[in-house]
Structure 1
Amino acid sequence: MTTLSIDIVSDIACPWCAIGFGRLQKALEASPDIQAEISWRAFELNPDPDAVSEPIGPALAKKYNMNEQQVDETQQQMKDAATSLGINFDKMESRYTCNTFDAHRLLKWSAQFDKQTPLKLALFDAYFGHAQSVDQQEVLLNCVDSAGLDRDQAMAVLKSDDYAKAVRDEEKLWQQAGITSVPAFVINQKYLISGAQEADALEKALSDIAIKESV
């Protein structure tokens, strides 16, 4: 058994990050000789806290210089990929852009309880499955409940500046390391796997790394 540390640099607002993790899970299920220690690392696609929330379709068209048909095709491609992995993307076309900084603060807080992954998955489900704005306090607290975390403690975090510096420092660290797009999987702080690669490709990459690390 080889244990690999996997830092997943991602944002809640990134659909390929949800898909990428689903594919990673599939790859790990097919790799019984590999044990993964997963940590979620912060990255913001929409870092401006004062930005006006917009419907996702027009926002993506403007950001990536696409027409409406191209946006719809891309959204459908992601929905199909998510569905094949059992991930709920039912309302992804209805979502609005939003800032995820507070969600990342809660993810940092949840690490001490070993609840980062349940919270991250609850946030993905809220945003893509139900088109809920994950910058809203009630939505965040409902995700905390879903992850089995203490709602009152989470409220205290949201009302404070706790973990704000930790999130900003983490974002800066990974940007300085050259990560400009997500998801990014950093294995044992040495190997980078970029993007939401297919499960087979991830399985092979992890296997190759495990062999190198066991020598």
Structure 2
Amino acid sequence: MSIIAPLRIDIVSDVVCPWCAIGYGQLAEALKKTNTEYEIHWHPFELNPDTPHEGRNYREHIAKKYGSSREESDASRAKMTEAGREVGFAFNFTEESRTYNTFAMHQLLHWADQQGYAHDLKQALFAAHFTHARDISNKEVLADIVAEIGLDRSEALAVLADERFAEDVRRAQQQWRQQSIQSVPSVIFNQKHLVSGAQGVENFKSILQQLADMPQ
């Protein structure tokens, strides 16, 4: 009797990417509805690596990057908020909402992955940033979040201080860029099938069903 391996899912994403949080929520719902056995691997991507450590006002950042008007920005926020609500994720945008440099967070995620906690930390960071508006540029806040998911707070601070995983993260990012990953979320199924963007629950269900029907 052959044993069917769990579906491998690699997700390239950034912590400050709202559609990454939405896309994962949609995928998670589709996985649940299709009773798919799976394993998820998270990978680093920096949407805005030139963001200063203290971050930028989110509305001003979007206006500068995309030329969005206030009305367009409000419409986008409403769309993301509704899409998040549909999969149980809460966005709480305000005039003070900020976007941050995420390089330190990717180093923490790399460290957490070595202990089997990357997924938990990724979800905690999404919630800290988009739902609770915590200052994720602050190392003490990041260490608190790490502790809340059950990892060692002092070790997290040490990882942030000595940047022992900085080169690992840069190398991983470069590897994905070499595979033409230029936007997030990018989801790769079984290391062969690339799907970009938040596809919606029904589309993800269809993709999962097609993968299940493929010869092993």
Structure 2 gap ranges (5+): none
**TM-score when scaled to structure 2?**
0.93
User: 1:58 Cα deviation (Å)?
Assistant: 1.5
Match of 1:74 in 2: 76
Aligned-partner Cα distance in 1 for 2:170–2:215: 31
Are 2:53 and 2:137, in contact at CA under 8 Å, matched by a contact in 1?
A: no
How many residue pairs match? The answer is: 213
CA deviations on 1:103-161 (whole Å, 9 max, x unpaired) are 00010101122111110111011110122232210221121022211111111111112
With 103-112 and 147-156 compared, the bigger mean Cα shift is at 147-156
Which amino acid counterpart does residue 14 of structure 1 have in structure 2?
C
In structure 2, relative to structure 1, the CA distance for the partners of 1:69 and 1:18 (3 Å cut) is: same
SS at match of 1:45: coil
| 2:34 aligned residue (31, 42, 63) | 31
SS at match of 2:7: strand
Which amino acid counterpart does residue 132 of structure 1 have in structure 2?
R
In structure 2, relative to structure 1, the CA distance for the partners of 1:171 and 1:75 (3 Å cut) is: same
Root mean square deviation, CA, Å: 1.6
Aligned-partner Cα distance in 2 for 1:49–1:2: 40
Are 1:108 and 1:116, in contact at CA under 8 Å, matched by a contact in 2?
A: yes
The share of aligned pairs that are identical, in percent, is 40
Aligned-partner Cα distance in 2 for 1:107–1:180: 20
User: 1:39 Cα deviation (Å)?
Assistant: 0.7
Aligned-partner Cα distance in 2 for 1:82–1:48: 27
Match of 2:60 in 1: 58
SS at match of 1:121: helix
Are 1:95 and 1:133, in contact at CA under 8 Å, matched by a contact in 2?
A: no
In structure 2, relative to structure 1, the CA distance for the partners of 1:35 and 1:206 (3 Å cut) is: same
Which amino acid counterpart does residue 154 of structure 1 have in structure 2?
A
- Counterparts of 1:1-215 in structure 2, within 5 Å, are 2-32=5-35, 34-48=36-50, 50=52, 53-91=55-93, 94-214=96-216
SS at match of 1:182: coil
Aligned-partner Cα distance in 1 for 2:91–2:52: 27
Aligned-partner Cα distance in 2 for 1:92–1:178: 34
Aligned-partner Cα distance in 2 for 1:175–1:197: 21
**TM-score when scaled to structure 1?**
0.93
